[in-house]
């Protein structure tokens, strides 16, 4: 599994929740803070404005996609000056009538692990806006078109197809953001476009239990130790061994929540020879002991 797929698989939970709504101007809709997910909106018809918690209103038109990770709350409205009189939530009407222009929206949420995340996701801005510009991100445009057609026609099998397309939409939105950020030259966008770093990250992800040294990782990247350590820290944001420990704890947390393997077995799988050493490292990262974490005890988010 490639690095981007790996981190999405490790941090996502469940299937995306979604629904379509139709609003006739004037309308304004408030979306509360997402505690454990990322909101998304896709404009199916008409236009509207995104009203972020901070920053200027953003105009949205047909085919635009907005992704909000770590969203602290936002609004959608037919114009920036319209009051937000609706609160998005269960049981709300799917159609709101009015005298003005019609806007159709696909809105939903991707659920992520609430107790930890990944530094690439944490590097995302609060609002990722991918406008529907001709000739840009054609694969994403194709997903948007397929979703629109699927939701318009209600064909048999739609309950399977729509969530699968929404899973693909998440990947293509992240790819679009990464491709735009790569022009800046550093950060996770640069790391995931660097074949040498991607190959090394892939090795760490595939075999987190191996007792890696910086020299071995540098050899996989085809670099000297000093060059590799410098480039890795510049793009990933931390040293190779610090990231390895972080990934080990992500893998361990996933295994603890997803099964009943003995703690000693999980410790070995993520590179710890003793259960005690593993428990100490896990508590330092997640703020709680592995056994309590498995039973559902609360833990603070993984530090960025």
Q: Are 252 and 289 in contact (CB under 8 A)?
A: no
pLDDT at 304 over 60: no
Mean pLDDT for 70-93 is 85
pTM assigned to the model: 0.84
pLDDT at 19 over 80: yes
Every domain of the chain and the residues it spans: 3-184, 194-294
pLDDT of residue 93: 67
Note the pLDDT tens digit of each residue in 185-223. 678 888 998 899 999 999 999 999 999 999 999 999 999
Note the pLDDT tens digit of each residue in 129-152. 999 876 688 888 898 888 888 877
Note the pLDDT tens digit of each residue in 29-56. 999 887 778 999 999 999 999 999 888 9
pLDDT of residue 86: 86
Q: Are 219 and 258 in contact (CB under 8 A)?
A: no
Q: In the chain, pLDDT over 90 holds for what percent of residues?
A: 51
pLDDT of residue 279: 94
Confidence of residue 2 (pLDDT cuts 50, 70, 90): confident
pLDDT of residue 248: 95
Tokens of 208: 């987190």
Note the pLDDT tens digit of each residue in 213-253. 999 999 999 999 999 999 999 999 999 999 999 999 999 99
pLDDT of residue 301: 41
Confidence of residue 121 (pLDDT cuts 50, 70, 90): confident
Q: What is the CATH number of domain 194-294?
A: 1.10.10.60
3-state secondary structure 19-76: EEEEEECCCEEEECCCCCEEEEEEEEECEEEEEECCCCCEEEECCCEEEEECCCCEEE
- Domains 3-184 and 194-294 alike in fold: no
pLDDT at 302 over 50: no
Complete DSSP assignment for 250-296: HHHHHHHHH----HHHHHHHTT-SSHHHHHHHHHHHHSS-HHHHHTT
What is the Cα–Cα distance from 50 to 41, expressed in whole angstroms? Answer: 10
Superfamily for domain range 3-184: Regulatory protein AraC (2.60.120.280)
Mean pLDDT for 116-139 is 85
């Amino acid at each position: 599994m490639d690095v981007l797929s790996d981190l999405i698989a490790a941090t996502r939970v469940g299937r995306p929740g979604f629904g379509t709504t139709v609003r006739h101007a004037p309308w304004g809709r408030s979306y509360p803070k997402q505690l454990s997910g990322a909101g998304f909106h896709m404009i199916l018809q008409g236009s509207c404005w995104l009203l972020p918690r901070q920053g200027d209103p953003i105009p949205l038109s047909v085919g635009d996609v907005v992704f909000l990770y770590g969203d602290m709350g936002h609004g959608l409205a037919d114009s920036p000056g319209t009051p937000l009189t609706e609160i998005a939530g269960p049981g709300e009407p799917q159609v709101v009538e009015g005298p003005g222009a019609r806007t159709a929206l696909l809105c939903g949420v991707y659920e992520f692990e609430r107790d930890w995340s990944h530094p690439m996701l944490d590097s995302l801005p609060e609002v990722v806006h991918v406008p529907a510009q001709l000739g840009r991100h054609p694969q994403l445009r194709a997903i948007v078109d397929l979703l629109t057609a699927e939701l318009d026609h209600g064909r048999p099998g739609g309950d399977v197809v729509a969530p699968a397309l929404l899973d693909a939409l998440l990947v293509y939105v992240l790819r679009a953001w990464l491709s735009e950020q790569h022009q800046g030259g550093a950060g996770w966008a640069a790391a995931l476009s660097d074949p040498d770093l991607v190959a090394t990250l892939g090795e760490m992800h595939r075999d987190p239990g191996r007792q890696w040294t910086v020299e071995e990782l540098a050899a996989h990247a085809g670099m000297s130790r000093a060059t590799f350590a410098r480039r890795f820290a510049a793009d990933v944001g931390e040293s190779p061994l610090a990231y390895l420990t972080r990934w080990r704890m992500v893998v361990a947390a996933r295994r603890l929540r997803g099964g009943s393997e003995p703690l000693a077995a999980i410790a070995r799988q993520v590179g710890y020879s003793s259960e005690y050493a593993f428990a100490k490292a896990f508590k330092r990262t997640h703020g709680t002991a592995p056994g309590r974490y498995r039973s559902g005890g609360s833990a603070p988010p993984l530090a960025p």
